[in-house]
């Protein structure tokens, strides 16, 4: 154990409380029954939870079942006792109707476990998209010492000599299938090639983003995020994380000491530099709210927009997770930002007790094609734009994935190069889109914008990743592979479509999107940050009155109890999509 003065441990209230021998005996005897001794439980050793997100249901995180053995060894080595327990599983590609629906359920469950059991500190086993924010949100609410441990990305996928990235390849394969370049069997082969090992998506999707940001926030050991799941370094960092959490307990280093406003500002800048997913603002805004830290989508634009994209990973670039690791991962990105004075808070404290600058300063990448230099980036000004108008109060656009072709077509009006206008085609959710996208009656051409609604946190419980819609097959055959897409749903971070998403408030909450009609003209001005239906305020008012008179925006029935409960409590994407009644519970381990 470290030489810190032994603090009074939280677990002593369960296991070593002479004022209440009856309860203490009851607590102690049952934890003895699998072979722990009284001496171990009552000698002041920190009890360290291993919040296990891996299971057969969640293959992206399943490798944590193995890694937990190394975590345990680290905990024991440092003088702690490990208690491993399950977290409600969340598999992005397996859960219907959406995996996001379960982010808040896993959060709620983990809060109860961390609060209600004798746990002094916790190792959060993170990985697949929503597992990371669920764990960090719970740690934020309970505020006991916590360290995050990524499961790591899968190895690079390969097909016929080319890298195939998880998720990203699906979008490409769909286009190839639609264009008749491959058949069903070829489609399956191509997609399966992108998942060659244990671990999470190897692209810069939501998983790599959120794991990188858990490190950027200071909640992981430096360099932890990028290590591929099967590498020996992944076992080693699991051991180190187990060791470190014991000292964090003895030092009483809490999530609120690490995840400060400064740490979030750093994470926003790092998110732009890595080309992070549009799901990041939802999750970070949510974590911040559970800590009582102010953070909104205006911050993302103000702090993050003018940051260059440095990391050359799919979907914005060409490489994958193994390359990211060999190029130095998050520390190499941070070091490059520090060298150019672009990291706002180099002194922000991290899990190992050092500042982010102490951890990263001076690191230079060995692979300058994977992590580019600040002076020759992948793209300038790669952060998000926060759009507002009569369509919504806030919606996010990721500018780093807008193709040159798209820029030329839509953003090259010499009078106003940042504006585009088009005819709206409105779909009521993904089923309606799939049903009607090829309907010739819609007369979709290259001057149209595709809208999807009813897909937000309330409308499609949890919010569906459906905003990136492909144009009709007829347009793809003519070489038009992308149209502007706008919606109140989300978009997979592995997709490269130029979309405006996370629109808040959503149609189901009677946001402006609910009033849009197919055929309306819509104008988007990226320079001014506006998005408007080009109709009068009176007409808008009338449409709202008509819709309200007709009973409001209709959504499908809930299919499970949790869907109904969450719909009644959940906030909008721009406010982190948290359970609103949960926000007032902060620092609950100390109240």
Backbone torsions φ then ψ of 439, nearest 5 degrees? -70, 115
Task: List the one residue from 120, 129, 428, 520 that touches ligand FES (CB under 6 A).
Answer: 129
CA pair distance 488, 479, nearest whole angstrom: 27
Quick one: what does residue 492 bind among Mg ion, ligand FES, none, with the CB cut-off 5 to 8 Å set by partner type? Mg ion
CB 130 within 8 A of CB 55: no
DSSP state string for 96-122 = SS-SGGGHHHHHHHHHHHHHHS--SEE
**128 near ligand FES, rule: CB under 6 A:** yes
Q: Which is nearer to ligand FES, 101 or 508 (CB)?
A: 101
Quick one: what does residue 93 bind among Mg ion, ligand FES, none, with the CB cut-off 5 to 8 Å set by partner type? ligand FES
**92 near ligand FES, rule: CB under 6 A:** yes
Question: Quick one: CA dihedral 235, 238, 242, 244, positive or negative?
Answer: positive
Which residues in 126-145 contact Mg ion (CB under 5 A)?
129
Name the 3-class secondary structure at 497: coil
Q: Which residue has the tokens 């097959």?
A: 473
Contacts of 455 (CB under 8 A, 6+ apart): 429, 430, 463, 464, 466, 467, 487, 488, 489, 490, 506
- The size of the interface with ligand FES (CB under 6 A), counted in residues, is 10
Which residues in 159-178 contact ligand FES (CB under 6 A)?
166
**365 near Mg ion, rule: CB under 5 A:** no
Task: List the one residue from 54, 121, 165, 205 that touches ligand FES (CB under 6 A).
Answer: 205
Strand order in the sheet with 384-387: 384-387, 394-398, 499-504, 485-487, 448-452, 419-427, 521-525, 530-533
Q: Which is nearer to Mg ion, 136 or 391 (CB)?
A: 136
Quick one: what does residue 200 bind among Mg ion, ligand FES, none, with the CB cut-off 5 to 8 Å set by partner type? ligand FES
**60 near ligand FES, rule: CB under 6 A:** yes
CB 84 within 8 A of CB 72: yes
- The size of the interface with Mg ion (CB under 5 A), counted in residues, is 3
Q: Which is nearer to Mg ion, 285 or 365 (CB)?
A: 285
**x/- track of binding to Mg ion for residues 190-229 (CB under 5 A):** ----------------x-----------------------
Quick one: what does residue 224 bind among ligand FES, Mg ion, none, with the CB cut-off 5 to 8 Å set by partner type? none
CA pair distance 12, 46, nearest whole angstrom: 9
Task: List the one residue from 492, 499, 563, 572 that touches Mg ion (CB under 5 A).
Answer: 492
141, 266, 292, 294, 401 from 349: Cα distances, Å: 19, 11, 18, 19, 32
Name the one range near ligand FES by CB under 6 A: 32-40, 117-125, 200-208, 327-335: 200-208
**311 near ligand FES, rule: CB under 6 A:** no
* Smallest distance from ligand FES to CB 228, Å: 13
**11 near Mg ion, rule: CB under 5 A:** no
409, 412, 421, 560, 580 from 417: Cα distances, Å: 10, 5, 12, 47, 40
CA pair distance 517, 505, nearest whole angstrom: 17
Name the one range near ligand FES by CB under 6 A: 199-207, 245-253, 313-321, 544-552: 199-207
What does the radius of gyration of the chain's CA atoms come to, in whole angstroms?
24
**102 near ligand FES, rule: CB under 6 A:** no
Q: Which is nearer to ligand FES, 60 or 139 (CB)?
A: 60
Q: Which residue has the tokens 């327990």?
A: 85
Q: Which is nearer to ligand FES, 200 or 264 (CB)?
A: 200
Q: How many CA atoms lie within 13 A of 356 on its CB side?
A: 33
* Smallest distance from Mg ion to CB 256, Å: 28
* Smallest distance from Mg ion to CB 92, Å: 5
**200 near ligand FES, rule: CB under 6 A:** yes
Backbone torsions φ then ψ of 468, nearest 5 degrees? -75, 95
* Smallest distance from ligand FES to CB 197, Å: 13
CB 261 within 8 A of CB 138: no
Name the one range near ligand FES by CB under 6 A: 139-147, 201-209, 220-228, 349-357: 201-209
Helix (H) or strand (E) run with residue 420 in it: strand 419-427
Q: Which is nearer to ligand FES, 132 or 238 (CB)?
A: 132
**142 near ligand FES, rule: CB under 6 A:** no
CB 483 within 8 A of CB 448: yes
Give the residues lining the site for Mg ion (CB under 5 A).
129, 206, 492
Give the residues lining the site for ligand FES (CB under 6 A).
60, 92-93, 128-129, 166, 200-201, 205, 207
């Amino acid at each position: 154990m470290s030489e810190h003065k032994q603090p009074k441990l939280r677990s002593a209230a369960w296991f070593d409380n002479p004022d209440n021998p009856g309860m203490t005996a009851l607590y102690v005897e049952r934890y003895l029954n699998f072979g722990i001794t009284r001496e171990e439980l009552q000698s002041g050793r920190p009890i360290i939870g291993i919040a296990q997100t891996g299971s057969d249901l969640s293959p992206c995180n399943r490798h944590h079942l193995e890694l937990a053995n190394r975590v345990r060894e680290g905990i024991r080595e440092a003088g702690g006792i490990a208690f491993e327990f399950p977290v409600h599983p969340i598999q992005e590609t397996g859960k219907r109707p959406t995996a996001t629906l379960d982010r808040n359920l896993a959060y709620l469950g983990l809060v109860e476990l961390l609060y209600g059991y004798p746990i002094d500190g916790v190792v959060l086993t993170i990985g697949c998209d929503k597992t990371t924010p669920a764990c960090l949100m719970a740690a934020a609410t309970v505020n006991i010492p916590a360290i995050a441990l990524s499961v790591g990305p899968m190895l690079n996928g390969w097909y016929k000599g080319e890298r195939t990235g998880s998720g990203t390849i699906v979008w490409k394969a769909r286009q190839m299938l639609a264009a008749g370049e491959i058949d069903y069997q070829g489609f399956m082969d191509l997609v399966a090639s992108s998942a060659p090992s244990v671990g999470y998506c190897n692209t810069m999707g939501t998983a790599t983003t959120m794991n990188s940001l858990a490190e950027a926030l200071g909640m992981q050991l430096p360099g932890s995020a990028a290590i591929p799941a099967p590498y020996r370094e992944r076992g080693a960092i699991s051991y180190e994380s187990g060791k470190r959490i014991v000292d964090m307990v003895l030092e009483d280093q809490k999530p609120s000491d690490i995840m400060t406003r400064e740490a979030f500002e750093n994470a926003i800048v790092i998110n732009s530099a890595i080309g992070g997913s549009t799901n990041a603002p939802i999750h970070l805004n949510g974590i911040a709210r559970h800590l009582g830290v102010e953070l909104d989508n205006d911050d993302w634009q103000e702090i993050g927009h003018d940051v260059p994209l440095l990391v050359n990973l799919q979907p914005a670039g060409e490489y994958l997770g193994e390359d990211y690791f060999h190029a130095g991962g998050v520390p190499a990105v941070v070091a490059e930002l520090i060298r150019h004075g672009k990291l706002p808070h180099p002194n922000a404290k991290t899990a190992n007790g050092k500042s982010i600058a102490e951890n990263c300063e001076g690191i230079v990448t060995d692979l300058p094609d994977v992590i580019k230099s600040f002076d020759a980036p992948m793209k300038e000004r790669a952060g998000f734009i926060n759009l507002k108008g009569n369509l919504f109060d806030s919606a996010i656009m990721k500018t780093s994935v807008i193709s040159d072709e798209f820029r030329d077509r839509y953003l090259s009006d010499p009078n106003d190069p940042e504006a585009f206008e088009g005819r709206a085609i409105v779909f009521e959710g993904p089923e309606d889109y799939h049903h009607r996208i090829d309907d010739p009656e819609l007369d979709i051409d290259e001057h149209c914008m595709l809208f999807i609604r009813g897909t937000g946190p309330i409308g499609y419980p949890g919010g569906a990743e459906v905003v990136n819609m492909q144009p009709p097959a007829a347009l793809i055959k003519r070489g038009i592979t992308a149209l502007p897409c706008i919606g109140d749903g989300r978009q997979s971070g592995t997709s490269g479509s130029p979309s405006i998403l996370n629109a808040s408030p959503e149609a189901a909450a009677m946001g402006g999107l609910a009033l849009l009609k197919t055929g309306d003209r819509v104008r988007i001005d990226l320079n001014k940050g506006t998005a408007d239906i080009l109709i009068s305020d009176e007409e808008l008012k009338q449409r709202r009155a008509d819709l309200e008179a007709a009973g409001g925006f209709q959504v499908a029935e809930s299919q499970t109890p949790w869907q109904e409960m969450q719909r009644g409590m959940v906030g909008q994407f721009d406010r982190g999509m948290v359970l609103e009644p949960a926000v007032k519970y902060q620092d609950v381990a100390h109240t």
